Structure 1
Amino acid sequence: MQAFQVHAFDAPPALTDVPVPRPGPGEVALRIAACGVNFADMLMAQGKYQDTPALPFTLGMEVCGTVAALGPGVTAPAIGTRVSVFGGQGGMAQVAVYDAARCRPVPDAMPDTVAAGFQVAYGTSHLALSHRARLQPGDTLLVLGAAGGVGLTAVEIGHAMGARVIAVARGADKLAVARAAGADHMLDSDAGDLKAQLKALCADIGGVDVVYDPVGGDAFKAALSVCNREARVVIIGFASGEVPQILANLLLVKNITVIGFYWGGYLTFAPQVLSDSLAELMDWYAQGRLRPHIGAVLPLDRANEALAHLADRTATGKIVIVP
């Protein structure tokens, strides 16, 4: 079969012919229907992600597929069951093997492309906003990178939780996507001094109670300048490439809390918290409260193109690979 693999961190990933994997004890083999692409995949390909596997490895953190074979001792999910899995790697392939305990049944009404890109983006935003930031109805939520894979879900979930949402993204097209997801106010990060734009807006509507930041860099600094007292700033990632340095005196004066958040970490120290969050999100989807935005669906032989869209920040919503 074919798999999109990283063989060296100084060379692009490439399609590679590999043996079809067989499930071991406690595992299942999935025939992959779709694989969500995440910013972490790009970092893994460069050897810069905190959980980068040993070389060589197959990219693809989350998938939707059909159970094709069971390993020894496994009785469920049954062969033929459609499931989604966050496996951390292996998804950009025709077949992949995963721990059976990580497989989650997919509702019939949820398309493969949606299910493949649902767990990381929606799970990240929901757990970050509800569990870590304790977002409340009536809070003002500032979302940086608001048209990206996780940022757009933060806009949508923040709106669903009753917050007033300020979306920051690059250009009118991306801001239109954020508006459709529920943003109340839109700011173009390419339209001049972001700090000045935020201060002008907040002079009219009041400051910010929660910041959702997958960008870092100067955007983080600008967001910190408009935080209300006891604001919560959730650090999701650093798409700008710059890890900001925090001036602790600003935190002290306004009693601001800066919160680190890594969704995948909950699999190891609090898996039930993650499972409960995903169960609630599935309920929201079934109720029609969530409308996932798929920005592009690409075949496996165009996976490098998908990574390039993430690198140059031209993607909106989720990019999905269909092998």
Structure 2
Amino acid sequence: MKAYHIHTAGDEPKLVDLPMPAPAAGEIRLRITACGLNFADLLMIKGKYQDTPAAPFTMGMEVAGVVDAHGEGVTEPAIGTRVALFSGQGGLAEYGCFPANRAIPLPDNISDVDAAGFQIAYGTSHLALDYKARLQPGETLLVLGAAGGVGLTAVEIGKAMGARVIACARGADKLEIAKAYGADHLIDAKTEDIREVVKSLGGADVVYDPVGGEQFTAAFRATNPDGRLLAIGFASGEVPPIPANHMLVKNLTVIGMYWGGYLKFKPKALTDSMATLFGWLSEGRIKPHVSETYPLDRVAEGLTLLRERKSTGKVVITI
């Protein structure tokens, strides 16, 4: 089978031929049809992601596909069932073996591409805004990187939860996408002062930040007393300093949020969140924005879009 593989730590990944895997006890084998790309994939290549597997490994963190075989002790989902699951690794391949208890059967009205590009981005935003920040109807949510893979989902979910959403992104084209997904106010990070604009709009009660760097600092200074700031990631490449004295005076809370970590210490929080989200998706309440799809032999092009921050919404590899 073909797989996008890292043979030795530090090497660039390559499309290679590997033996067909056999499912172990508790696993299913999937004939993979689609795999979502994530900023974390870029960090894995450099060995800088917090859950980078030991080499050799096949990349690809979230997949959709058809159950092809069962490992010992597994009877469900049945062979032939379309499912989505968080793989963590192994998704950028024609076949892969994954824990059966992670598989979510897909209704006919959810496509493989939407399902593969849905889990991490929507899961991160929903768990962050609902479970972690306790976003309330009528509160003001500031979303940084609002047209990116996770940022756009935060805009959409924030609106679904009844918040007033301020979307911040770089350039008018990206802001138009955020507006289409429900943003009430727009800030162009290229030309506008984030702090001043947010303060002029009454300040932020919750900040969703996958960017870090100077944008976090500006948002921190525009957060209302008793506000919550979600540290989702650092796409800018800068981890911002956090002034604890200002946190104290304004009663602010800075919340770290790593979605995948919940698989290890509180998986029910993830499964409950995903059940809600797949229900919303099936009902049409949310609609993933997949900006680009590429075949397996063009993964590098998809990763380049993420690296250069040129994508909007999600990039998905079809297999």
Same fold (TM over 0.5): yes
8 Å CA contact retained: 2:198, 2:204: no
Residue 30 of structure 2 is matched in structure 1 by 30
**Residue 322, structure 1, aligned to residue 318, structure 2:** yes
Paired residues in the alignment total: 319
Structure 2 counterparts to residues 106-125 of structure 1, below 5 A: 106-125=106-125
Structure 2 counterparts to residues 154-169 of structure 1, below 5 A: 154-169=154-169
2:41 & 2:255 partners in 1: Cα distance?
23
1:58 & 1:289 partners in 2: Cα distance?
34
Structure 2 counterparts to residues 261-300 of structure 1, below 5 A: 261-300=257-296
Residue 17 of structure 1 is matched in structure 2 by 17
2:198 & 2:226 partners in 1: Cα distance?
20
Secondary structure in structure 2 of the residue aligned to 1:211: strand
Secondary structure in structure 2 of the residue aligned to 1:173: helix
String of CA shifts for 1:270-290, please: whole Å, max 9, x gaps. Answer: 111111111111111122110
8 Å CA contact retained: 2:187, 2:197: no
Which letter maps to 1:177? I
String of CA shifts for 1:115-174, please: whole Å, max 9, x gaps. Answer: 001111101000000000000000000000101110000000001101010111111111
Secondary structure in structure 1 of the residue aligned to 2:110: coil
Residue 206 of structure 1 is matched in structure 2 by 202
Give the TM-score normalised by the residue count of structure 2.
0.98
Residue 224 of structure 1 is matched in structure 2 by 220
8 Å CA contact retained: 2:194, 2:215: no
Structure 2 counterparts to residues 2-81 of structure 1, below 5 A: 2-81=2-81
In structure 2, relative to structure 1, the CA distance for the partners of 1:65 and 1:160 (3 Å cut) is: same
Q: Identity of aligned pairs, percent?
A: 60
**1:35, CA displacement in angstroms?**
0.2
In structure 2, relative to structure 1, the CA distance for the partners of 1:48 and 1:136 (3 Å cut) is: same
**Residue 90, structure 1, aligned to residue 87, structure 2:** no
1:154 & 1:69 partners in 2: Cα distance?
36
**Residue 191, structure 1, aligned to residue 191, structure 2:** yes
**Residue 305, structure 1, aligned to residue 301, structure 2:** yes
2:56 & 2:256 partners in 1: Cα distance?
30
Residue 249 of structure 2 is matched in structure 1 by 253
1:72 & 1:104 partners in 2: Cα distance?
19
Residue 134 of structure 2 is matched in structure 1 by 134
Which letter maps to 1:270? K
**1:11, CA displacement in angstroms?**
3.7
8 Å CA contact retained: 2:142, 2:206: yes
In structure 2, relative to structure 1, the CA distance for the partners of 1:10 and 1:73 (3 Å cut) is: closer
CA RMSD of aligned residues (A): 1.0
**1:9, CA displacement in angstroms?**
4.7
* Unmatched segments (≥5 aa) in structure 1: none
8 Å CA contact retained: 1:127, 1:263: yes
2:9 & 2:211 partners in 1: Cα distance?
23
Residue 173 of structure 2 is matched in structure 1 by 173
* Unmatched segments (≥5 aa) in structure 2: none
Give the TM-score normalised by the residue count of structure 1.
0.97
Runs of 4+ displaced beyond 6 Å: none
1:121 & 1:274 partners in 2: Cα distance?
13
8 Å CA contact retained: 1:12, 1:304: no
String of CA shifts for 1:241-266, please: whole Å, max 9, x gaps. Answer: 11111111110110000000111111
2:5 & 2:183 partners in 1: Cα distance?
37
